[in-house]
Structure 1
């Protein structure tokens, strides 16, 4: 039902772009109908506890699944993720409850005995092909990039780095394709599969912060909002405090480099290609010291559920650095004001 709603929402957007108002209205209404039916069928709110119930599924498929020891489970990460992505909630209070359920499931501190999550540790994934691609972006969009970083840095099964720890040089089809106990016991066990590698999109769009404006496609208008790692040490390891990324757009290279110290931004370098412009969003605790040609401070705004400082950037290369509690701006080496 959730994926049906997603496809319907896409059709409404496509119809809007094509100027087909009748079909936009038709698909828009279909989306609302699916949403209402889903909330009525699968969402239960009683005793101040919200539960997203699992469906019975296709009986033939369910039978095969149960033969392999699988179980159907409420409050699954994938269901919660798609509900948040699609806006499948009645109000902000319900949205917050869904976010809380998702974060609780991921942190996995007190899993229910006999549940799927009871088999795994804290800060682990419980998603497949339909959930892994959106888990980190959705978490960032609702203000929990720290949890996205926790998942990225996890190296116990199931996780991305567990594969690396096991010697993988490509992304596997399954989280347990290989372990210390040997090869996974399953018919399908590819060691070169794209799906779980979708986290790379999050690394470009959120870690580096390079994104696009749907109203100005092709990166003519660039959106820059890097998400910094603000959590404490994880598994006795240092956190991510440096990122250097370049995206090759139609207009040219878009580059972002940042450094943090003590969870605070200390240095940010950006390059905006010719014939483009960008909106840059930075933490609101920074105080702009001055402006330079090509960089305009717009003010405080809200982006991705977070209050941030907004800057408008012309094409060029700029350096932002913190000193004395203030944000200073200069031109990157090799760039001049025109």
Structure 2
């Protein structure tokens, strides 16, 4: 009710849903506020179908208050942004102040200052706290490290359910940990996408293990597809951009992958990213639609150079986290690194 109008604005630049449903969104937030106990929301099903010791269903590893309150806080921050965009300054201040109180209560209730873990330390709990902006900046790296450690300690297997797993992927990708995502999703001997395929799944399943007792054609657990475009393909929207006016192309070269080819039909036109890795050479072909700009991040090692095969002009800005950053305008480019 609150997130979808915001996504429509972020992805398409369309504010109409915000305008049309603003009063409804206010009523929904008021409802959540009324249900909260000291700003903690403990209702619902929690991290549905996570992987605990019992048969899947209601959350087993993550307390209800974590998932409910994290999304409640996120709703407030998004509503604050929408109120600001719509010129409703008093509302924006109200939601900002309430969000700050929720954040404080959440951390008082669930954050262990010594271990830097949230609640039970589950993958969902730590990831949702990071993604929703509930973690203090000084603690963020350690909380992410705890998330990675839990995954690695389980020999790269997942535990998060339908609510939490999307945020596990988002946090890992944002932290430059796509190698962890690849390792998690390359196994076919534990519950996850690999075992679903091994069991003959041709559609998304309700359970990670593709159990025969539940639905095996379900609108659920499809989170990995987002990473295939934004991580492997590298097509992302730049921070503070709307409708993909400013684009970020940063393909993640992980595991034994040697190529990827993805495209997205944005409001400005098709954005595409196609890369190949052969030996010590890497090529990336990108298409940037008219009236947009893009920053491209290339994996360049010491003694390697970047060239553009079609002799199209580009600007090298510098390097970030071991990658060369290039700024380009609209057009088709083919970069070569060797």
TM-score (norm. length: structure 2): 0.73
Structure number having the greater helix percentage: 2
Which shifted more, 161-170 or 147-156? 147-156
Instruction: Determine which of 178, 181, 190 is the counterpart of 2:215.
Output: 190
What's 2:122 paired with? Answer: 76
- Aligned in 2, Cα 1:87/1:265: closer, same or farther, shift over 3 Å? farther
The Cα shift of 1:192 comes to: 1.6
Post-superposition Cα deviations, 1:27-66, rounded to whole Å, max 9, x if no partner, equal 12222211111111111234xx33322xxxxxxxxxxxxx
What's 1:326 paired with? Answer: none
The Cα shift of 1:265 comes to: 6.1
Instruction: Determine which of 247, 252, 256 is the counterpart of 2:269.
Output: 252
- Aligned in 2, Cα 1:28/1:145: closer, same or farther, shift over 3 Å? same
What's 1:67 paired with? Answer: none
Give ranges in structure 2 of 5+ residues lacking alignment.
1-68
What's 2:236 paired with? Answer: 211
Larger radius of gyration: 1
Post-superposition Cα deviations, 1:305-324, rounded to whole Å, max 9, x if no partner, equal x454221112211111122x
What's 2:171 paired with? Answer: 138
What's 2:298 paired with? Answer: 282
What's 1:3 paired with? Answer: 71
- Aligned in 2, Cα 1:214/1:87: closer, same or farther, shift over 3 Å? closer
Q: Relative contact order (C-alpha < 8 Å, sep 6+): which is higher? A: 2
Give the whole-Å Cα distance in 2 for the aligned partners of 1:99 and 1:289.
32
Tell me whether 1:147 sits opposite 2:191 in the alignment: no
Tell me whether 1:107 sits opposite 2:140 in the alignment: no
Q: Judge conservation of contact 2:231–2:252 (CA < 8 Å) in 1.
A: yes
Runs of 4+ displaced beyond 6 Å: none
- Aligned in 2, Cα 1:21/1:196: closer, same or farther, shift over 3 Å? same
What's 1:157 paired with? Answer: 190
The Cα shift of 1:144 comes to: 1.1
What's 1:310 paired with? Answer: 325
Post-superposition Cα deviations, 1:167-203, rounded to whole Å, max 9, x if no partner, equal 000010111333xxxx23xxxx221222211211111
SS at match of 2:82: helix
Give the whole-Å Cα distance in 2 for the aligned partners of 1:164 and 1:213.
34
What's 1:63 paired with? Answer: none
What's 1:300 paired with? Answer: 319
Instruction: Determine which of 118, 140, 145 is the counterpart of 1:52.
Output: 118
Q: Judge conservation of contact 1:294–1:314 (CA < 8 Å) in 2.
A: no
The Cα shift of 1:214 comes to: 5.6
The Cα shift of 1:164 comes to: 0.6
What's 1:319 paired with? Answer: 334
TM-score (norm. length: structure 1): 0.73
What's 2:54 paired with? Answer: none
